[in-house]
Amino acid sequence: MCVFAALAFLLAAGAPGGAEAAVRVQTPPGALASSGGAVAAHIARVTDYWTPARMRSARPLDGSGGGEGGAPVASASYAWVPDSTIPPFSVNGRIFVRQGGQVGYCSGTAIDSPTRQLVLTAGHCVNSGPVGARGRSFWSQYLEFVPAYTDGQGPFGVFVAQRRAVYALSPWVRRGNPNFDMGAFLVYPNAAAQNLADAVGGGVTIALDQTRSQQFQTFGYPGRSSRLQECDSPYTGNDRRTNRLGGEPTLGIRCHWNPGASGGGWLIGGGTAINGLTSYGRRRDRIHTFSPYFSSGSVGILAAGL
């Protein structure tokens, strides 16, 4: 799994600590023009790709937090959300992607941003990070976000990612540094011409540079679950192995999220703000899941102006 592999490589290499500059990296330009007809064609191509059958066949994207090669846990630490269509649950959803030949999914959160079109997720959900001996990374394609996804249905419609508006942070894309495992993308309006944040009831704000000692409501679509799940936990400490990788070390909670929950939001303030997201779990740890720390020098750069 890419997060574990990247972490093991960096630790084995003795990566230096200290500050590491975070630069927002944009998906390479495509051939799509910005005309209305071309946009409509792009939206149709993505929505046609994600047939109900293909959605059902998608698997949790490799690199998701909380599992070891997708192995199930003896007892889950999360529970179904009774009604995912009401705030704050409605801001959470499933992200469908094709990445490096894999048809998969992650989780994500609708953000209250100036464009009203922003989705926040894990970096490895939009870009694989370094893969193989040459360390090449792969950008996700055919991205679409389905807020409040439930049993194959999207009560707020489908939101297709804008082709030139998919972003990750350079320390993740170039070195697979889990301290920067954050991704973002802008989406087009749904079929009802609603922007994402408006459709789901406003979206959540991004909380930066907060104390780590928070009580988190965390959400995602783990394993083969087709319904939104929730797990609540206070901060339980940092993953000390990430201290020397550059950037702020990751923080943990006592929630064991399985693959598929990657990118799911960690909400604070009664569900009004996001202050973390599911990134990875440690091998042989069946208790905790970890998130990058949300600072103005990391996710603040990623989401600036979006």
Residue type at position 96: F
In this structure, the chain runs to a length of 306
Q: Which is nearest to 157 in space by CA: 193, 106, 123, 185?
A: 193
Number of C-beta neighbours around residue 132 at 10 A? 9
Total domain count for the chain? 1
Distance between CA atoms of residues 175 and 55, nearest Å: 31
Asked whether residue 14 is assigned to any structural domain, the reply reads no
219, β-bridge pairs: 230
Model pLDDT, residue 282: 87
Q: What is the pLDDT of residue 117?
A: 98
- With residues binned 3-state (H G I as helix, E B as strand, rest as coil), the percentages for the chain, rounded to 5, are 20, 30, 50
Q: Is residue 134 part of a domain?
A: yes
Could you report the per-residue pLDDT of 159-195, keeping only the tens digit for each?
999 988 999 999 999 999 999 999 999 999 999 999 9
Residue 286 confidence (pLDDT): 85
| pLDDT of 132 | 79
Domain assignment of residue 58, yes or no: yes
Residue 298 falls within a domain, yes or no? yes
> Residues 181-233: pLDDT tens digits?
999 999 999 999 999 999 999 999 999 999 999 999 999 999 988 999 999 99
Instruction: Give the CATH number, domain containing residue 32.
Output: 2.40.10.10
**pLDDT lower than 50: segments of the chain:** 1-14, 64-75
CA atoms within 13 A on the CB side of 33: 4
- How many Å apart are CA 189 and CA 116, to the nearest integer? 9
127 contacts 172 by C-beta, under 8 angstroms: yes
pLDDT at 71: 35
Report how far apart, in Å, the C-alpha atoms of 297 and of each of 171, 180, 239 are.
Answer: 12, 10, 19
User: Does some domain include residue 13?
Assistant: no
Structure tokens at 159: 């939101």
Buried/exposed 268-288: b ≥16 CB within 10 Å, e otherwise: bbebbbbbbbbbbbbeeebeb
Q: Does residue 272 form part of some domain?
A: yes
Residue 273's beta-bridge partner residues? 205, 268
pTM of the model: 0.91
Residues facing residue 235 across a β-bridge: 253
pLDDT number for residue 30: 62
Q: What is the pLDDT of residue 31?
A: 52
Quote the pLDDT of residue 1.
40
End-to-end Cα, the chain, rounded Å = 30
Q: Which residues constitute the domain of residue 130?
A: 2-8+20-303
The Cα 232–Cα 255 span in angstroms is 7
Does residue 266 lie in a domain region?
yes
Q: Does residue 132 sit within a domain?
A: yes
The pair phi, psi for residue 267, each rounded to 5°, is -100, 150
